[in-house]
Every structure is written in C-alpha cells, then in structure tokens.
Amino acid sequence: MPVEKELLEILACPVDKAPVREEGDRLVCSKCGRRYPVRDGIPVMLVDEADPPA
C-alpha cells in the first residue's frame, strides 16, 4: 500500500527534520539515510523503529 503523496510531503525525519523519500516499503531520510518502516500504509517515524543508514 503506497504512502499518500500529500502525507509524504509533510513527513520529516525526527532526527534532523529533513524530508524523506519513498523507497520500496520504506521511507528514507534524505539527510541521515535512516530508513523508516511503513506499516499498512502508515509511516512509522520513530527513531527506535528506523534502520540505520546503509
């Protein structure tokens, strides 16, 4: 289930407030590279849930 575009535009990384982009079933921070999961179309913008940058 894709994230709605309007929602994607207002989301930001909680660490550095940078915008995120959709990458597969993840949202990736454009600054620090943390990868946030999306569950049932709902982005989980929590540092504890994020995967560290590759």
Stretch that binds Zn ion, among 2-10, 27-35, 42-50 (CB under 5 A): 27-35
Is 29 a binding residue for Zn ion by CB under 5 A? The answer is: yes
Tell whether the torsion through CA atoms of 33, 35, 36 and 40 is positive or negative: positive
Contact pick of 4, 16, 49, 51 for Zn ion (by CB under 5 A)? 16
Contact pick of 7, 9, 32, 44 for Zn ion (by CB under 5 A)? 32
First to last CA, the chain: 24
Question: Is the CB of residue 19 less than 8 Å from the CB of residue 34?
Answer: no
Binding site for Zn ion (CB under 5 A): 13, 15-16, 18, 29, 31-32
